[in-house]
Amino acid sequence: MKTEAATTFAEVAASEERYQLATYRKMPLAAERGQGVWIYSSDGQKYLDLYGGHAVAGTGHSHRHVLAAIRQQSEKLPFYSNLVYSDARAGAAEKLISIAPKSLTKVFFCNSGTEANENAMRMARMTTGREKIITFSGGFHGRTADAISATFLGRYRELGKPNVPGHLQADFGDIESVRQLADESVAAIMLEPIQSMAGVRMAGTEFYRALHELCDERGIVLIYDEVQTGVGRTGEWFFCRKQSRGWRCAGRHHPGQSAR
Ligand SMILES: Cc1ncc(COP(=O)(O)O)c(C=O)c1O
């Protein structure tokens, strides 16, 4: 089927069904373009987008500043490997550090959320020399091997079998369940501060504070998976920044640094 001919919902749907693996059940809508909070379908219908493309389109669709930045960089140099220095990459890293909690001082760029979590767990294992990772009931961390093994939600972990060993499950919001598992074999505790796929679940403020203290006390790396809560979606640049008021924040605590 020619792309330019794929204008009606039926045509777009038939083309996607034919050439793509059926991994998601889709809504009966072919999104063709967007502007701000609106989505326009291939059939010319206009929809108020309360979904934000899986919470990715936080600035609204086709925001002129985003478009200008993409256009400007793609006209200069769309890609070059990290074997050379780049002003665009330098600027992006500096900007991220300027909005991150003060204890986070380095950026590692990734292609996806699951890759970020895989690398966070790997770095925690490397820096502590320990193997185990504690995550929480209801948490979702991605679909690649280690991240899906850290996911204790419905059937997801089952889909990733055989799972990566060394993943332990604690109860979200229950610090005692974490204390019982957090021995000297634990490299990291990872959590979605607001659980997403489990239905927008938060724990009490005390829970986050106690987690920070436990990690500091036992030399465990605390990893906040902010795929859903990061970059302004809770009204702060990062949830852990919001939560850090009054106590130290996510990441290894560096003595002498207070939270921003
Ligand atoms: C909390 C959370 N972590 C990790 C992921 C995985 O991110 P990605 O699909 O970009 O690999 C998701 C995806 O929805 C997520 O919601």
Q: Convert the pLDDT of each residue in 175-224 to its tens digit.
A: 999 999 999 999 999 999 999 999 999 999 999 999 999 999 999 999 99
Q: Convert the pLDDT of each residue in 75-86 to its tens digit.
A: 999 999 999 999
Q: For residue 164, what pLDDT is reported? A: 97
Which of the pair, 45 or 247, is modelled with greater confidence? 45
Q: For residue 45, what pLDDT is reported? A: 93
- 84 to 58, 69, 79, 88, 108: CA distances (angstroms): 31, 21, 11, 12, 15
**Cα of 124 from ligand 1 centre, angstroms:** 19
Average pLDDT on 88-114 reads: 94
CA distance linking residue 151 with residue 155, whole number of Å: 9
Q: Is the CB of 229 under 6 A from ligand 1?
A: no
* pTM across the whole model: 0.88
**Cα of 91 from ligand 1 centre, angstroms:** 25
Q: Is the CB of 193 under 6 A from ligand 1?
A: no
Q: Is the CB of 227 under 6 A from ligand 1?
A: yes
Q: For residue 54, what pLDDT is reported? A: 79
Q: Which residue from 119, 141, 227, 229 has its CB within 8 A of the most atoms of ligand 1, so it is best to mutate?
A: 227
Q: Is the pLDDT of residue 32 over 50?
A: yes
Q: Is the CB of 148 under 6 A from ligand 1?
A: no
**Cα of 173 from ligand 1 centre, angstroms:** 21
Q: Is the CB of 114 under 6 A from ligand 1?
A: yes
Q: For residue 52, what pLDDT is reported? A: 85
**Cα of 255 from ligand 1 centre, angstroms:** 31
Q: For residue 83, what pLDDT is reported? A: 96
pLDDT range class, residue 244, cuts 50, 70, 90: low
**Cα of 58 from ligand 1 centre, angstroms:** 15
Mean of all residue pLDDT scores within the chain: 90
Q: What is the CA radius of gyration of the chain?
A: 21
| Angle value at C-alpha 215, between 121 and 114, nearest 5 degrees | 20
Name the closest-CA residue to atom 13, ligand 1: 142
Q: Is the CB of 226 under 6 A from ligand 1?
A: no
Q: For residue 243, what pLDDT is reported? A: 66
Q: Is the CB of 251 under 6 A from ligand 1?
A: no
pLDDT range class, residue 245, cuts 50, 70, 90: low
